[in-house]
Amino acid sequence: MSRDWALAAPCHGQDGFTPSEDDWNTGADLKRLCGSQLAACGPCPFRAVCIATVKPAQAKFDGIAGGRLWCNGEVIAALDDVFEDELTEPKLRASCGTEAGAQDHKRHGERVCPSCRQAEREMAQRRREEKAKRPGQLQLDFATT
């Protein structure tokens, strides 16, 4: 995907948006270090795409993105006119080797990877075993297999 928007953003070429970890310890330090840069995001038309790209909450980001100052992935300061819907980050995918991972593969039109397929098989097997333990269900199971 093109990152042309980043070149056109007000922060392009400016320092102080992501301070080095050595320079701060607390949220108050971060505010002191880059609080004043927040104003650059004011006229920026790319706040939503900025957040979608940086994924500050997921990445436990420290610094300025999308009109907010983040510390360990949480907003500690924001411009007055920020919108909730700018905060939508792409959903985290389930890890591989789980049944949810297999579902995510299918949802994205991908081939289910071996470890997810294995997890799926194990879960199906476990469910069959659970069912078999319930006497009332036995006949039904046999009838359908």
**Given the rule CB under 6 A, which residues bind ligand SF4?**
9-11, 17, 40-41, 44, 46-47, 50, 64-67
The single-letter DSSP state of residue 26 is S
Cβ nearer to ligand SF4, comparing 66 with 101:
66
Cβ nearer to ligand SF4, comparing 73 with 114:
73
Distance in angstroms (rounded) separating the CA atoms of residues 123 and 127:
6
The single-letter DSSP state of residue 68 is E
Smallest separation, CB 32 to ligand SF4 (Å): 18
In the stretch 113-142, what mask flags binding to Zn ion with x, by CB under 5 A? x--x--------------------------
Partner that binds at residue 9, options ligand SF4, Zn ion, none, CB closer than 5 to 8 Å by kind: ligand SF4
Alpha helices in the chain (DSSP H): 4-8, 27-34, 47-54, 56-59, 99-107, 114-133, 135-144
**If DSSP codes are grouped into helix, strand and coil, which group holds residue 45?**
coil
**Which residues, in sequence order, are bridge partners of residue 74?**
71
Tokens of 115: 């470890």
Partner that binds at residue 87, options ligand SF4, Zn ion, none, CB closer than 5 to 8 Å by kind: none
Q: What residues numbered 77-116 form the site for Zn ion, per CB under 5 A?
A: 96, 101, 113, 116
